[in-house]
Amino acid sequence: STSAALLLQQYKRKKAIQRIPPRPIELRAEEIGNGMIGLIGNTPLIRINSLSDALGVEIMGKCEFLNPGGSVKDRVALRIIEDAEADGLLHPHTGSVLFEGTVGSTGISLATVGRAKGYECCIIMPDDVAIEKVQVLEKLGARVERVRPASYVDEKQFVNMARKRAHEFGRKELVSHCSAEDSDETQPDLLVTISQTPADSSRNSSITDFSFPSSSTSTRPATPLETSPHPSRSPSPPPVSRSGRTRVRFNPSASASAIAAAQRPRGFFCDQFENQSNFDAHYHGTGPEILRQTSGNLDAFVSGAGTGGTISGTGKYLKEHVRGVKVVMSDPEGSGLYNKVKYNVMYDSKESEGKKRRHQVDTVVEGIGINRITHNFAQGLDIIDDAYRITDVEAVAMSRYLVTHNGLYLGSSSACNLVASVRLAKKLGKGARIVTILCDSGSRHQSKFWSDDYLAKNGIEITPSLIDDMLAS
């Protein structure tokens, strides 16, 4: 009947008014990523509502877990590979293998970016790292070698093993491919620029350890495969890049056999701890992004340190561009970095410097906390203003609190950063603005940090109310 039709019409009209219009989806050409690596970086900042509302301080997280490889380390993997390519040390699709010693995230990023760019990947890690990281690596086609956790002075330690493996691979392949006519003699032909200060030679082992002839200032004796460029052919003075790193460039008129020699498969030790490209990824990426996203309206930047690349690179850039900004480190218990920042000593008084120590710290938090000063951390040491030591119980409590209140499922280092941010917020007072790094998601940490069983077995309590107390006090 007409009255029924009228009622239906009225009902539909009312519904239409109530219905929230769908969010417009605008696909803009510049938003189409150029392959997988086009999605790396430019991550959003989010306001952590629960903590910010409770404290009256804006606490913002940089969503590094949204990188395509799932962590902040995508930036570093990309920069390491592209710098090595620019230096003539790597060529895609030549069978070259990336080697790295890592507790997980960097390996996954190297395997992901490596795949996209045409490199094989071999990851060496301690055998007590969360198993899901190994599984992801294997699915990505990386070779995984798990070694017994060892002291960092031990040659079987995972980073030292990775360096050794890369070196062996490079040698083996180069020696087996080398014929008399294209060995030593062609190398100087190929390279036009090699510069390295004596200070650099000790740290940039990814470049000096294998591959091309190193430099005339190298402290190591030249081997047949590492001859210095012929003095008469090398340009003088050799240019030095901004960072002072070794630059190796191809001679455009190099002979075909020299180019073929350069494109042999080789092992490349990525060396995230000492490689300048790590710092640069953050100095030129993460730092400028945060400046842009906050318009420089920022009181503090909070980050943990594993290699130190994030805190040093981002922190240094922000210090240079935001007046009065504080750079604050979150450090898990057992890590030596806290003492270094607070008291300029690496070891507790009970311990001696010579003691063999584990490189990784004994904590359920993975990825941050370390017992030595790396090149990438050292670069930021003078700009870190303060540090907070975070317990496993606090980090676990924060992670559970954030899921409950914000639906944020984060990894262990992100949880540490947020505990440190809360402590700092209380010190800075209402109205302050803090940015921290949300390094990766909880899915990378299911079998340890997010496993109630694992925590119970290791005597770590799950007490999210701790965060309520922390916010209320």
Which is nearer to ligand PMP, 105 or 157 (by Cβ)? 105
Cβ(120)–Cβ(97) below 8 Å: yes
Which is nearer to ligand PMP, 186 or 414 (by Cβ)? 414
Cβ 374 to ligand PMP, closest distance in Å? 9
Q: For the chain, how many residues are written?
A: 473
283-298 CB burial, b ≥16 within 10 A, e <16: bebbbbbbbebbeeeb
- CA torsion sign for 290, 293, 297, 303 is negative
Which is nearer to ligand PMP, 267 or 315 (by Cβ)? 315
Q: In what order do the strands lie in the sheet with 143-147?
A: 143-147, 120-126, 97-101, 267-269
Which is nearer to ligand PMP, 73 or 264 (by Cβ)? 73
Residue range at the interface with ligand PMP (CB under 6 A); choices 29-37, 154-162, 301-309, 332-340: 301-309
209 binds ligand PMP (CB under 6 A): no
218 binds ligand PMP (CB under 6 A): no
Which is nearer to ligand PMP, 41 or 367 (by Cβ)? 367
Which of 308, 336, 380, 442 lies at the binding interface for ligand PMP (CB under 6 A)? 308
Which is nearer to ligand PMP, 196 or 412 (by Cβ)? 412
Cβ(277)–Cβ(248) below 8 Å: no
191 binds ligand PMP (CB under 6 A): no
What's the rounded Cα separation, in Å, for the pair 302 and 277?
A: 21
Which is nearer to ligand PMP, 285 or 367 (by Cβ)? 367
Identify each DSSP E strand in 224-356 by its residue range: 249-250, 267-269, 300-303, 326-332
Lookup result for tokens 């941050």: 368
What's the rounded Cα separation, in Å, for the pair 27 and 88?
A: 37
Question: What Rg value do the Cα atoms of the chain yield, rounded?
Answer: 25
Which is nearer to ligand PMP, 283 or 401 (by Cβ)? 283
Residue range at the interface with ligand PMP (CB under 6 A); choices 188-196, 304-312, 426-434, 461-469: 304-312
Tell me the site size for ligand PMP, rule CB under 6 A: 16
Give the CA distances from residue 194 to residues 60, 80, 219, 238, 444, in Å, rounded to whole numbers and listed in that order: 43, 18, 15, 7, 40
Within 8 A by CB and 6+ apart from 18, the residues are: none
Binding residues among 380-419 for ligand PMP as defined by CB under 6 A: 411, 413
Which of 126, 304, 315, 442 lies at the binding interface for ligand PMP (CB under 6 A)? 304
367 binds ligand PMP (CB under 6 A): yes
DSSP 3-state of 277: helix
Cβ 453 to ligand PMP, closest distance in Å? 21
Q: What is the DSSP letter of 329?
A: E
Cβ 411 to ligand PMP, closest distance in Å? 5
307 binds ligand PMP (CB under 6 A): yes
Cβ 178 to ligand PMP, closest distance in Å? 36
Cβ 422 to ligand PMP, closest distance in Å? 18
Cβ 305 to ligand PMP, closest distance in Å? 4
329 binds ligand PMP (CB under 6 A): no
DSSP 3-state of 44: coil
Binding residues among 125-144 for ligand PMP as defined by CB under 6 A: none
Which of 59, 121, 368, 425 lies at the binding interface for ligand PMP (CB under 6 A)? 368
Judging by DSSP bridges, how do beta strands 120-126 and 300-303 pair with one another? unpaired
DSSP H helices, 38-192, are 49-55, 73-86, 105-117, 131-139, 158-177, 186-190
Cβ 329 to ligand PMP, closest distance in Å? 10
Binding residues among 95-124 for ligand PMP as defined by CB under 6 A: 105
Give the pair of three-digit tokens for residue 157.
């330690």
What's the rounded Cα separation, in Å, for the pair 303 and 416?
A: 9
Q: How far is CA 386 from the centre of its chain?
A: 21
Which of 114, 229, 306, 369 lies at the binding interface for ligand PMP (CB under 6 A)? 306
Cβ 308 to ligand PMP, closest distance in Å? 5
Q: Which of 355, 351, 199 is nearest to 274 (CA)?
A: 199
Which is nearer to ligand PMP, 201 or 312 (by Cβ)? 312
Which is nearer to ligand PMP, 70 or 213 (by Cβ)? 70
Which of 43, 71, 211, 234 lies at the binding interface for ligand PMP (CB under 6 A)? 71
420 binds ligand PMP (CB under 6 A): no
61 binds ligand PMP (CB under 6 A): no
- Rounded to 5 degrees, φ, ψ at 386 are -160, 170
What's the rounded Cα separation, in Å, for the pair 193 and 66?
A: 38
What's the rounded Cα separation, in Å, for the pair 349 and 354?
A: 13
Judging by DSSP bridges, how do beta strands 191-193 and 249-250 pair with one another? antiparallel
Cβ 189 to ligand PMP, closest distance in Å? 38
Cβ 46 to ligand PMP, closest distance in Å? 17
Site residues, ligand PMP (CB under 6 A): 71, 73, 105, 304-310, 367-368, 411, 413, 439-440
